[in-house]
Copies of this chain bind each other. A is one copy, B any other.
Amino acid sequence: MPSYIAPTKDMQFILHDVLNITDAGIPGYDDLEPDFTSAILEEAGKISSEVLQPLNVVGDTEGCTFENGVVRTPAGFRDAFEQMKEGGWPGLDMPEEYGGQNMPYVIGTAVGEMFSASNQAFTMYQGLTHGAASAILAHGSDAQKDTYLPNMVACEWTGTMNLTEPHCGTDLGLMRTKAEPQDDGSYKITGQKIFISAGEHDMADNIIHLVLAKITGGPEGIKGVSLFIVPKFLVNEDGSLGARNGVACGKIEEKMGIHGNSTCVMNYDGATGYLLGEEHKGMRAMFTMMNEARLGVGMQGLAQADAAYQNAVEYAKDRLQGRDVTGAKNPDGPADPLIVHPDIRRSLMDQKSFAEGARAFILWGATMIDRAHRAGDKDADGLISLLTPVIKGFLTDEGYDMTIQAQQVYGGHGYIEEWGMSQFTRDARIAMIYEGANGVQALDLVGRKLAQDGGKHVMAFFEMVKSYIKENSGQNDDLDRDFLEPLKAASKDLQAAGMYFMQNGMKNPNNALAGSTDFMHMFGHVCLGLMWAKMGKAAMDALAAGASDASFYETKIATGRYYMARRLPATAMHLSRIQSGADTVMALDAANF
């Protein structure tokens, strides 16, 4: 059975040596001294390894069950959920006035990675609650906040997001669920929603559904969509639970993975709903959840990759098979461990350099959210808006590939369920799909985010990379050669791709869209390249300052060199694909496929 050890040391390195969070000038960051963050991370790591991780295989094997409208979670989930609540983890980065601990988002993100890595299906119950609570926090009335948030922040009540219908996923303008205004200001919600994660289960007293629906008589299409709060049990004025609402789970889906999370068909049959935010502005309100969810999903890509990687390393050290071609490394044993073989190393280095780079990327992104929310920094808001589809799309595509590589290290033992490596891949697979399939992320990036605010944010990104290279060049040959020069080349490729889109997308938008997935991947590589340059420099600085744990920093530099030499040059391939334009992509009539 797999194990998981939280990467607390690596997180501390990123938070303090690379991002220097205590000096970041973001409200609430002043308290984040290394000893303080270390205490939180160690505690979160403990519950991840000891409580959540052992339930991961249980969740996969047992799955959820559905009988007479009741969904039961796998054995042990309820107890674990109680422990998470007792520890105050669900409200870690929620406001104190609703019972949270008001920690910055960056801390919630670091902790969230551990929870996802140790048990993604389980962690989704509180993750979705967090997203729904954030939407109420951003768009709800004071009364709505008072009614729902304290219980949601505590995870006494959980939350969901209801977008998809059988005939519409991405294209929500096709939505059929309707909301009929009632005399008391509420609405009657009727329709069917599918793929509702945590839609029904046995771990909370109430479930607060956020539901997109069209108010009857409103505008057609996406402009007529509003967001509603639809509690499973109505809430009385005194806060106690009232009547069961007209919403029920119709079935749960058989899925490829995340079996421990209930994926529900939810039937709304004149259910009482309350408008959240403004009429017909449902998409705006929903995007508060969606953006947070997309970052969270990007993190899942990293989390599954890291959990799978950790186990692949252990297997590669333990399993004796074949001999090192340069001479036996375990001469007294029957064979050398797998880890001596160059192709196994290549695979492990792919995984390691991805996971550590992705971790830095996610935590850096989280600081932008904190900067935007806590310091009202519009530039930070613009930049994270630009990077959100990259974080979601790139990290889940790559993260999935890394779970496949980790599974491959096990050979045939990776394919049988006994070793648990299959679960990492099956769970990671969903992250490429939900919260907007990765093709939609690429479309969002190229079709919307690049041009947002006149292209200001992407220009700022390029400027930032350029400045970073300029400021740090010429001081250290190793840094220049191994980190800054590859970053410069990759960044130039990315700019050339952006230039191609500008010059050719005008006359035919397909010239841009046909390269959208390649662009998203290049962008991701450049971001990880930037993170590795920063980590490489931080590690070199630490060594120069005589850091006691030299081996940690030397390993960091070696891992970064691998990424820059072996992974980052993929940008050139993506650029050549992009520059081949839309012609070959769009050449066929649909009938000829």
Contact = CB atoms under 8 A, between A and B. Distances in A.
A169 B433 contact: no
B566 A415 contact: no
A164 B418 CA distance: 17
B171 A335 contact: yes
A36 interface: no
Nearest to A559: B588
A102 interface: no
Interface in A410-443: 411-412, 414-418, 422, 425-426, 429-430, 432-434, 437-439, 442-443
Contacts of A434: 412, 415
Interface residues of A, number: 95
Contact of A443 (B173, B326, B343, B414): B343
Given A254-B418, A516-B342, A584 B565 contact: yes
Interface in A572-593: 572-573, 576-577, 580, 582, 584-588, 590, 592-593
A433 B412 contact: yes
Contact of A422 (B256, B517, B580, B587): B256
Given A422-B256, A585-B566, A442 B343 contact: yes
Interface stretch (A2-10, A293-301, A344-352, A378-386): A344-352
A562 B346 CA distance: 30
Contact of A584 (B171, B349, B411): B349
A339 interface: yes
Copies held by the complex: 2
A75 to B, nearest CB: 18
B517 A346 contact: yes
A495 interface: no
Contacts of A481: none
Contacts of A322: 170-171
Nearest to A511: B342
Interface in A555-573: 555, 558-559, 561-562, 565-566, 569-570, 572-573
B321 A168 contact: yes
Given A439-B408, A570-B573, A573-B573, A582 B256 contact: no
Interface of A: 164, 167-171, 173-174, 194-195, 253-257, 263, 313, 316-317, 320-322, 325-326, 334-335, 337, 339-349, 352, 400, 404, 407-408, 411-412, 414-418, 422, 425-426, 429-430, 432-434, 437-439, 442-443, 447, 508-510, 513-514, 516-517, 551, 555, 558-559, 561-562, 565-566, 569-570, 572-573, 576-577, 580, 582, 584-588, 590, 592-593
